[in-house]
A and B are shown apart, each in its own frame.
Chain A
Amino acid sequence: NAGVMQNPRHLVRRRGQEARLRCSPMKGHSHVYWYRQLPEEGLKFMVYLQKENIIDESGMPKERFSAEFPKEGPSILRIQQVVRGDSAAYFCASSPPNSQTTGELFFGEGSRLTVL
């Protein structure tokens, strides 16, 4: 059973470009979460999605950031008009529908975004 797959692992963008990060959850998992880790900091919650629904986006910046988890295909975190402050590692995690009593999340290896 493959783990949570994120790609690309590394992405370099110039200021003003768009960044798209993809996450395929573990097989059988229908809940996806995105976290951001700035240098020398802990992970910060961004958004929680289920298939075709955004459940909690309280950690998402109000502008330029969006996330989706379509019925088919991976979850996408999209950052428009990137700025240097967006440089960070972006982690995706997933959990199965019946994990709500355990709380355990399974993390991907992260996507490192560098904005020049």
Chain B
Amino acid sequence: AQTVTQSQPEMSVQEAETVTLSCTYDTSENNYYLFWYKQPPSRQMILVIRQEAYKQQNATENRFSVNFQKAAKSFSLKISDSQLGDTAMYFCAFMKQNAGGTSYGKLTFGQGTILTVHP
């Protein structure tokens, strides 16, 4: 079984600054996906960024980037130029990749980190 740990229950950052959210995971699998999801007060789950474990290059999506350390089983999210709209709960999640490259949507989520962006 997989576990995902987010050790920071709450974080805060000033608008326009950079913040990093931590995530570690434990698995015996070699092939998997990692995700960061954002859950604003509306409670909608929004995919922020996705990383495939076999790719060494860290994923980036505009102001969002990850630092993926496979050996250390670490997957942190960096948000640059923070905006007020980034205020939300952020969840790190793991998904196993089956043989042949297939997978299905059985995600294991961390406990979440509440991020507050201050003006």
Verify if B106 is at the interface (C-beta below 8 Å from A): yes
A88 to B102, CA, bound (A): 31
**When each residue 73-116 of chain A gets 1 if its CB lies under 8 Å from chain B and 0 otherwise, what string results?**
00000000000000001010101000011111101011010000
Q: With A and B bound together, what is the CA distance between A41 and B89 in angstroms?
A: 10
Q: How far is the CB of A4 from chain B (nearest CB, A)?
A: 10
Measured between beta carbons, the chain B residues less than 8 angstroms from A102 are 50
Q: Is B47 an interface residue when CB atoms closer than 8 A count as contact?
A: yes
Task: List, in ascending order, chain A residues with CB within 8 A of B4's CB.
Answer: 42
Q: In this assembly, does A69 line the interface, its C-beta being within 8 Å of a C-beta of chain B?
A: no
Binding site for B on A (CB under 8 A): 31, 33, 35, 41-45, 48, 55-56, 89, 91, 93, 95, 100-105, 107, 109-110, 112
> Nearest Cβ in chain B — how far from A70, in angstroms?
19
The interface bits of chain B over 76-119 (1 if a CB of A lies within 8 angstroms of the residue's CB, else 0) are 00000000000000010001010001111111111110000000
**CB pair A103 B42 closer than 8 Å:** no
Taking A103-B50, A104-B50 as contacts, is the C-beta distance between A43 and B45 under 8 angstroms? yes
Q: Most chain-B CB neighbours within 10 Å: which of A43, A55, A93? A: A43
Interface pair B109/A33, CB less than 8 Å apart: no
Considering the chains assembled together, what is the distance between the CA atoms of A45 and B106 in angstroms? 6
Interface SS, A side: strand
A43-B91, A89-B43, A109-B43 in contact; A48/B106 too (CB < 8 A)? Answer: yes
B-side interface residues, number (CB < 8 Å): 25
Q: Is the CB of A105 within 8 A of B111?
A: no
A42–B9 Cα distance when bound, in Å, is 12
Q: Is A33's CB under 8 angstroms from B111's CB?
A: no
Q: Report the Cα distance A42→B44, complex, angstroms.
A: 13
Q: In the complex, what residues of B have CB within 8 A of residue A43's CB?
A: 45, 91, 107, 109
Complexed CA–CA distance, A89 and B43 (Å):
9
In Å, the complex CA distance between A109 and B40 comes to: 11
Contact of A109 among B44, B97, B102, B110 (CB under 8 A): B44
Q: Are B111 and A48 in contact (CB under 8 A)?
A: no
In the complex, what distance in Å separates the CA atom of A43 from the CA atom of B108? Answer: 8
Q: Say yes or no: A95-B42 contact (C-beta < 8 A), given A43-B91, A103-B95.
A: no
Question: If the complex has contacts A31-B104, A42-B111, are A103 and B33 also in contact, measured as CB distance less than 8 A?
Answer: yes
